[in-house]
Amino acid sequence: MKHINKINSEGFAIIDHVYNETEIEKLISIIESVTKNKAEKTTFRKSEDLFAIRQFHKEIPEALEYIFNPNLKNIIKSNFGENYFITKSIYFDKPEKSNWFVAYHQDLTISVDKKIDIENFENWTTKQNQFAVQPPKDILDKNFTIRIHIDKTTKDNGALKVINSSHSKGICRIENMDFKNEKETICEVEKGGIMIMKPLLFHASNKTTNNERRRVIHIEFSNQELPNGLDWSERTNL
């Protein structure tokens, strides 16, 4: 399953049928059974428009056995090679009547275990006792994200919109993009499919308009060691 040429040129790829119905139902069952008992945790965020679990792979490690099925393992190995590990994960549950939307942006930060003064590591923030920082561009260039779709995702329930090949422009501000000369794609994904994307790809999502739920597991990967004793705070080897 070679998609790396499209990922490198366009910044993303969509692959359907990575998970069968049984695997998806098992994931849903695991998530629902855990969230019933942990609704007050700081890593859980709940509102009318969104339910999210940060550090998903650490909060619900039981799910990893089903997430990393032979299909996904083969996709990672055949497109990116060996030695990749999880650096961050989030579970999103966008309800049927959600007004939650996200404007165009790049994923510029990584989660790390401490704050250290290191050249070219900028824009430090802290949220829920976790540090985030914008690393040098070459680190972001080599990372990738996989979004696992538990529900069918269409333009009507918040499918990601992307600016094709925008990752190749480097780190830039959205107001400097010339939209008249850019190609926008709405990334519709079947239930049980995945989307692979590069962090610097500009992406956004709209409000839900069709009363259909959208659940996604977002996992970020790297194979890079950080300098000066800095480490990925959510690092989990595959």
How would DSSP label each residue in 171-228? S--GGG--GGG--EEE--B-TT-EEEE-TTS-EEE----SS--EEEEEEEEE--PPST
pLDDT tens digits for range 119-144:
999 999 998 778 999 999 999 999 99
What single-letter DSSP state applies at residue 237?
Answer: E
* Domain spans of the chain, in order of start: 4-237
Output the pLDDT for position 175.
85
- Residue pair 159/226 in contact (Cβ under 8 Å)? The answer is no
pLDDT tens digits for range 187-217:
999 999 999 999 999 999 998 889 899 999 9
CATH number of 4-237: 2.60.120.620
pLDDT tens digits for range 54-98:
999 999 999 999 999 999 999 999 999 999 999 999 999 988 777
Structure tokens at 32: 């629902």
Angle at 163 between CA 159 and CA 165, to 5 degrees: 125
- Residue pair 232/226 in contact (Cβ under 8 Å)? The answer is yes
The distance in angstroms from the start CA to the end CA of the chain is: 19
